[in-house]
Amino acid sequence: MRIPSLAVILTMIIVLQGCKSDKLDDDPVRLNGFTASLPAGEAWIRTDLSPTKAAYQRTENGNMTLLRFSIDTIAPMPQAQAFFAYAEGRQERLFAGSKAISIHYNRTIKDNAPCLQYDGILEWESRTTSPFTTLRGFIFRHPDDPNRILNVELSQDCSGKNEAYAIDLTETARLVFNSVHFTKYADMR
* Cα 15 from Cα 104, distance rounded (Å): 43
Q: Which of 38, 53, 34 is nearest to 141 (CA)?
A: 34
- 23-182 classified as CATH 3.40.1000.10: yes
What is residue 26's predicted lDDT score, i.e. its pLDDT? 59
Number of residues assigned to the chain:
189
What is residue 75's predicted lDDT score, i.e. its pLDDT? 87
Are β-strands 148-158 and 63-73 bridged in parallel, bridged antiparallel, or unpaired? Answer: antiparallel
- What pTM was estimated for this model as a whole? 0.79
Each residue's pLDDT expressed in tens, for the chain with a length of 189 residues: 445 444 433 333 333 333 444 554 457 888 888 889 888 777 889 999 888 899 999 988 778 899 999 999 998 877 889 999 999 999 999 988 889 899 999 999 988 889 999 999 999 988 878 889 999 999 999 888 888 899 999 999 988 899 999 999 999 899 999 889 888 766 544
Domain ranges of the chain: 23-182
